Amino acid sequence: MRNIKLNPATNSNILLDKDNIKDFKAITRGEVMLPGDHGYESARKVWNAMIDRKPGLIVRCIGTHDVIQAVNFARDNNLLVAVKGGGHNVAGNAVCDGGIMIDLSLMRSVRVNTTNKTVRVSGGCLLGDVDYETQLHGLAVSAGIVSHTGVAGLTLGGGFGWISRKYGLTVDNLISADVVTAEGKVLTASREENTDLFWGIRGGGGNFGIITSFKFKCAEIGTEVFSGMMIQPFEDAKKYIQFHREYVRKLPDEMTVWMVVRHAPPLPFLPERLHGRMVVAIPFVYLGDRTTGEELIRPIREFGHPHGEAMGMNPWLEWQAGFDGLGSHGARNYWKSHHLEDLSDEVIDKILEFAGKFPSPDCEIFIPHMQGAPSRVAENETAYTFRSTPYVLNIHTRWNDAAEDEKCIAWARDFFENTKPFANGVYVNFISEEGEARVKEAYTHETWGRLTQLKNRYDPTNLFRMNQNIKPSG
């Protein structure tokens, strides 16, 4: 076996000799891979094809024991550490150049407790893993909308989706988590134990340790939900958005209606001539009976001259995977995002101006409506901030050809700068690689101070820094 230089990123001259790696392999129950090993190339890939990093070593853990060994090995050898949950993060923090990638993707067990309606989820699970097991009992965890997203990264940033207006953010449903700290200790964080850590991991990202297991409260939603999509013409977008901004804010928490400005996918209910045309797509989910749901969305169906619609009682598992194709692995992605207090006429004009010059046909402007149960939780209850801003403006820039990187990124940045005057904060999970000042904008000043104190306590050497990083102040 060869010597490998593991820490080019920090310029440290650490060479692990073959005995050192052999010893590490001997105490690891999962797989340890070096460049050139079978499986290394696929293991280092993450969702965003813009990210092409080559770790010095990849360890695919199969349990908490492996995670502890990997953390100890990394710390003792001064290695740069990246932690992979689902590998979905747009910034690509799940993989590093040089250093060690601690990959949890083999840790995907899900155990439902039907008596108290809770679920225990391992640190490498994807959202679909949780949906499949909980749905056996008509249960669900409030989380995101694409089934191949990782539970860990999503939860650590906050987590929202189709049922969060009714049931709260993913962090609001977190009961406890097992955390491997930088010291290699396992701590349980909950309302009863290590309460400071419990506060921090609910929004503060992967800064404080590696979560090997989460326990969530489940919602009893049944196995089918009244859901669907309506399509409005882009030509009427301004009028529609003006209507939408007022209308969604009057809806009960059971009804979630979002909005996406994009080129129409080849949806079976749309005439072929509209495929690829710019449209406003309006997907919705209603947690209740069909008749009431239909009554609630009637104003949208009757607004203007819609292109088409499809709706019905859809199996939750199908609905949760319905958007997977639009966010599939392997494309190049660059995201920008804001929280918005209002969809004012000026913001709408900017949205339509930039939608009119999409740099690629796969781009979209995604506008979820957020208020509901999350806004009724006190702001200082969790590290997740900006609970009462009503809208998110997500600039999803997506393309395939590396030659278009510059054009696509420039468009996103320009759009972002043009809408920044209307913004109030950002969701940490939607930040690309944008530096510390931007990470701070995901939190209030007070929350940032508290997170820094927590970092000083649990990770004073910043071992866990491949994330939206909160530096220790020492």
Ligand X SMILES: Cc1cc2nc3c(=O)[nH]c(=O)nc-3n(C[C@H](O)[C@H](O)[C@H](O)COP(=O)(O)OP(=O)(O)OC[C@H]3O[C@@H](n4cnc5c(N)ncnc54)[C@H](O)[C@@H]3O)c2cc1C
Q: Which helix (H) or strand (E) holds 406?
A: helix 405-419
The mark string for 323-352 relative to ligand X (x by CB under 6 A, - otherwise) is ----x-------------------------
317, β-bridge pairs: none
| Binding residues for ligand X restricted to 114-153, rule: CB under 6 A | 123, 144-146, 149-150, 152-153
> Interaction with ligand X in 180-209: which residues (CB under 6 A)?
205-206
In the set 44, 53, 60, 84, which binds ligand X (CB under 6 A)? 84
Among 59, 70, 210, 348, binds ligand X (CB under 6 A): 210
Compute the Cα dihedral for 146, 150, 155, 156 and give only its sign.
Answer: negative
- 425 contributes a contact to ligand X by CB under 6 A: no
Choice between 145 and 463, CB closer to ligand X: 145
Rule CB under 6 A: say whether 104 interacts with ligand X. yes
150 versus 390: smaller Cβ distance to ligand X: 150
Task: Say how far apart CA 337 and CA 427 lie, in whole Å.
Answer: 7
User: How many other C-beta atoms lie within 10 A of the C-beta of residue 406?
Assistant: 10
Among 69, 135, 173, 467, contact with ligand X (rule: CB under 6 A): 467
CB of 295 to ligand X, least distance (A): 27
Q: How far apart are CA 128 and CA 107, in angstroms?
A: 14
Should residue 256 be labelled a site residue for ligand X when binding is judged by CB under 6 A?
A: no
Region of 392 (left: φ > 0; alpha: ψ -120 to 50; beta: rest) is beta
Our CB check for ligand X shows the closer of 150 and 306 to be: 150
User: Which 34-53 residues touch ligand X, going by CB under 6 A?
Assistant: 46-47
Asked if 466 touches ligand X (CB under 6 A), the answer is yes
What does the per-residue mask of binding to ligand X show for 271-310, with x meaning CB under 6 A?
A: ----------------------------------------
Q: What is the size of the binding site for ligand X (CB under 6 A)? A: 35
Q: Are 221 and 138 in contact (CB under 8 A)?
A: yes
**Nearest distance from residue 458's CB to ligand X, in Å?**
12
What does the alpha-carbon distance between residue 281 and residue 119 come to, in Å, rounded to a whole number? 33
Candidates 160, 284, 358, 443; binder of ligand X (CB under 6 A) is: 160
Cβ proximity to ligand X: between 81 and 278 the closer is: 81
Restricting to residues 363-422, name those near ligand X by CB under 6 A: none
Nearest CA to 119 out of 216, 13, 228, 222 is that of 216
Using an 8 Å Cβ cutoff, are 202 and 88 in contact? Answer: no
SS3 content of the chain, % helix, strand, coil (to 5): 35, 25, 40
Shortest spacing between CB 226 and ligand X, in angstroms:
19
Per-residue CA distances from 63 to 4, 74, 135, 175, 420 (Å): 26, 17, 25, 21, 43
Distance between CA atoms of 450 and 208, rounded to whole angstroms? 13
Locate tokens 């904060």: which residue? 425
- Rounded least distance, CB 240 to ligand X, Å: 23
Q: Is 85 in the site for ligand X (CB under 6 A)?
A: yes
- The answer for residues whose C-beta is within 8 angstroms of residue 151's C-beta and 6 or more apart is 85, 86, 121, 123, 125, 126, 127, 129, 130, 143, 170, 214
Decide whether 28 or 207 has the Cβ nearer to ligand X.
Answer: 207
Helix (H) or strand (E) holding 21: helix 18-27
The least distance separating ligand X from the CB of residue 149, rounded to whole angstroms, comes to 5
Task: Report the interface residues with ligand X, using CB under 6 A.
Answer: 46-47, 83-90, 93-94, 104, 123, 144-146, 149-150, 152-154, 156-157, 159-161, 205-206, 210-211, 327, 429, 466-467
